[in-house]
Structures are given as C-alpha cells and as structure tokens.
Amino acid sequence: MDQNHQGNNALQPHVLIFPIPFQGPVNCALKLAELLCLSGIDVTFLNTDHIHRPLLRHTQVLSRFSRYPNFRFQTIPDGVEHEKPVSRDGFMEVMSAVDAVSKPVFREMMISGSLSRNSERPVTVMIPDACFSFAVDVAIETSTPVVCFETISPCCLWTCCLNLPTLIQAGDIPFKENDLDQMVKSVPGTEHILRRRDLASFCRSDNISTPVIELIMKEARAIPRAQGLILNTFQDLDALILTHMQTFCPNIYPIGPLHSLYKARLTASSLPETTFSNSVWKEDGTCLSWLDKHPPKTVVYVSIGSLATMTIEQLLEVWHGVVNSGKPFLWVRRPGSIIGGFDDSRVPSELLERTKEMGCIVDWAPQEEVLAHQAIGAFLTHSGWNSTIESIMEGVPMICWPCFADQQVNSRFVGEVWKMGVDMKDSCDRLIIEKAVRDVMEMSREMFTESANSWANLAKKSITETGSSSMNLDHLIDDIKAMSS
C-alpha cells in the first residue's frame, strides 16, 4: 500500500466494482480493481454468484488478490443455476436474471449499508459496468458518486449506444436486409465510415421493441448521469470518437490498453512477481511451447472469445479456409462454442490429418501471451473488444469475422479506420477465408504490419509514466479520492 493510503477510516476511499457477469468484463474489472488497490484505495469486488463459482477454483487469481488487505470479493445471488459457459444466446437470459434477482438485492444492500467493509467504511464511489443502469439509479438514490466502466469498444458505445435514439429518430434503424450497404449519416463523426451492416448486431432487427434495445437505451440514459466514464482505449486510437463522446459525458478516463497498463504498474510495484492472468477459465499453456517451434510471424491464431458461437457448417468453412491457406494455426475451440456440439464424424478425414500436421487446438489459451508470441502473424478473431485491443497492443494484424454485439463496428474500424486487417463481415466461405489469411500474411503483409506496428507503438507510449492512459489512471485515482472526502 502506498503512502497515499489514509489512516483515517472516515476518509478512506472505498470503491465498489460491479461488473456484468461474463468472462471478458470480469477479467477487465479485476485488472482495474488491482490497479486501484495498488494506489491504496479499498476495493469491494461484487460478483454475481454464477460467474464467481469458477473463479473460486482459480487459485492463482485468489492468491494474488489475497495479497491486498484492502481488497475483498463479495457475491450477490443472480438466479442463474447452470455453470456451463454462457454463450451469446445466454446473454439476455443472464441479464434478465440479474435484473430480476440481483437488482433488488443490490438496492437493499446499498441502502442498508451492508456492502460496506464495515460500518465506518461506507462505499464512497461506485464503479458499475455501464450496462448495469440500475446501479447508477441506486448510486443516485443513495447519493453515492458513480463512475461507469464500459468494456465494449468506444466506437460501438458512441455509434450504437449513446446514439441509439438518434439512429432510431433518423430512421437508420430498424432497416431491411436489402438496405445493409446504405451509409449511416446520422451519427456525428462516422458519417463516412459506417454502413448499416457495420452497426452493432442488436441494430439488425426489424423491430426496435426488443429486450436488448431496451437494455441499451437504459444504458445510454444512465451513462451521462454518472460522474465519469472509464474506457479501455487510448487517446490516439479513438481521438475523434472521444471528442464527440465528451458532448455526452465530459469526464472520460481512457486507460487502455488496460491489460498492459496493469502489467506495467504491477511490474513497477514492490510486490513479488506473480502471474497476470485473471481468466475465469483454466488456460492451456502447452500451446506456447507449440508456438516456440515456429518461425516469427508464421502462425495464424484463431479464437472467437468467450461468448460467440458458430454452427458446424461455419466451423468447417473456417477450418477448410485456414488449412487451405497452408499456414500453421493455433485454434481455441471453447467447449460450448459449436452450436449443437462438435461432431467428429462430419469432419473429412483429410482435414483431420492436415490439422495434425499443421495445427494446435486447445479449449482455452493464455491469449495475451499468445498474441505477444513472435510466431503469431495474424489473428482470425470475432472482433470482441478485448481481443481487438490486445491485438493492437502487440501489433498483430487481424482477419475479422464478427459475430454479435459491438463486433460488427469493431471489425469495420479495424479494416477502414485503423487499416490493420480485413473485415470478412457477413461471409463465411472457405475461399474468402483462405484469401483473407493469404492477404494478411503474404500479399498485403507489409502494409498491414506497418499500420499495426505504428498503432502498437502509440499503445505502448500511452502506458508509459507520462503517457495518456497512465495519466488518465492517475486522474481517476485522484478523482476517486476527491469524491470520497
């Protein structure tokens, strides 16, 4: 704990972090929690039951956090019984369960003060995921300062969340499938970038009265009511978007790439060395020694994150495409990610044979280490925001196959704005995939590598002591202390 830690309980800043209960957001929120602990702030990390259960088996994470006397986990019921990994289709099911079960319990806990570390240390600042608009309501009701944390991409947050009412009013949504290539002119800053097909997946509906649109509308209304907004990006990457966003929420803290800022601060601290992983699921590190056997920039890394799914037909197209490109590949096949389950008998024996020769398949990988490995030449990704910013940090060009949520917007920005890969949106064809892999790894390799390297350099600069993300984190810490006094 540093010297800023105040002895007086009444003034001790005590932050409540409350992430939405999914692998990616929890992982990010744990990093933020540890950064705040390092600066002497008390942190209570509130997990809903079903996501906390697998974390309890992750002894490395638990022992790392046990080093902080100013940190504690607390759980809240969520009514989600199953422990199987939640997929894309389960997202709203979990969010609805949280709304029905956790929301009233959370309000009661905050009003009664039972969430505090003890009666002298009430929660002084709340940091909920921006998706939990009810937490912003409770913060306002209990006069607790609140700073929202958003783990999706700023480009999607701006275009499809904060501007959702604008999109609806302008008639950009709902839209028909044959209007997919029409440009979206109503959102300031992205008039020449986004087509309707590049909007978040929840915008692709002929009906705007869906539960997910209702959830996002609530989020759009909640964010400007908070005292601030924490984003996992860096100033140079999203400068234009951040300027526009400040018209909605003036106080923005871009502190990304969070995973790298976190490593930098932890390494610089006087704490003994430790692992950095906060993964809720067990990582298979054997793929790193497999990567060691390959020359630099020769392997394609394939992963669709923690929630996206694919059909067996899509799996076979991607599989053929990657194998036919002739590049060795490391593929994360998360259990539960194939709709209807994986059926070996539908896979041609030749594909299985070639996979043995040139592929490595694991259930879950240490992704940050994989992307930092010199053997990786490209990332075939679903364009989840964490995966995207991890790839940007390591200067790895991307082949984007977006599935849902913010991924459609992210893949467009990767291809059109940051020019560090190709966007295969809305196609899943073995020939297109093979061509995209060859394009990124051979034909246009120089061009993609050049822009990937320049973004990586800016990302690295942002987390140095005087870099923008580092200074924004310091502002956040100062502001939390000021809000607590």
State the binding string over 127-166 for ligand UDX (x if CB under 6 A, else -): ------------------------xx--------------
**Residue 384 C-beta: closest distance to ligand UDX, Å:** 2
Residue closer to ligand UDX by CB (options 18, 42) is 18
Residue closer to ligand UDX by CB (options 25, 174) is 25
Candidate list 44, 48, 144, 306; residue touching ligand UDX; CB under 6 A? 306
Contact, 157 vs 84, CB < 8 A?
A: no
Which residues fall within 8 angstroms of residue 142, CB to CB, at 6 or more apart? 110, 111
Binding span for ligand UDX by CB under 6 A among 74-82, 301-309, 413-421, 442-450: 301-309
- Please report whether residue 233 would count as binding ligand UDX according to CB under 6 A: no
Residue closer to ligand UDX by CB (options 307, 398) is 307
Residue numbers 351-390 binding ligand UDX by CB under 6 A: 364-365, 367-368, 384-387, 390
Binding span for ligand UDX by CB under 6 A among 19-27, 391-399, 439-447, 466-474: 19-27
Residue closer to ligand UDX by CB (options 39, 260) is 260
Closest CB to ligand UDX: residue number: 384
Angle at 201 between CA 168 and CA 164, to 5 degrees: 25
Residue closer to ligand UDX by CB (options 305, 415) is 305
Binding span for ligand UDX by CB under 6 A among 293-301, 304-312, 323-331, 392-400: 304-312
Binding span for ligand UDX by CB under 6 A among 24-32, 52-60, 138-146, 163-171: 24-32
- Please report whether residue 332 would count as binding ligand UDX according to CB under 6 A: yes
- Please report whether residue 116 would count as binding ligand UDX according to CB under 6 A: no
- Please report whether residue 307 would count as binding ligand UDX according to CB under 6 A: yes
Candidate list 133, 186, 232, 303; residue touching ligand UDX; CB under 6 A? 303
Residue closer to ligand UDX by CB (options 25, 228) is 25
Residue 22 CA to residue 94 CA, distance in Å, equals 9
Residue closer to ligand UDX by CB (options 145, 397) is 397
- Please report whether residue 198 would count as binding ligand UDX according to CB under 6 A: no
Give the number of other Cβ atoms within 10 Å of residue 41's Cβ.
26
Residue closer to ligand UDX by CB (options 252, 477) is 252
Binding site for ligand UDX (CB under 6 A): 23-25, 27, 151-152, 279, 303, 305-308, 332, 364-365, 367-368, 384-387, 390, 405-407
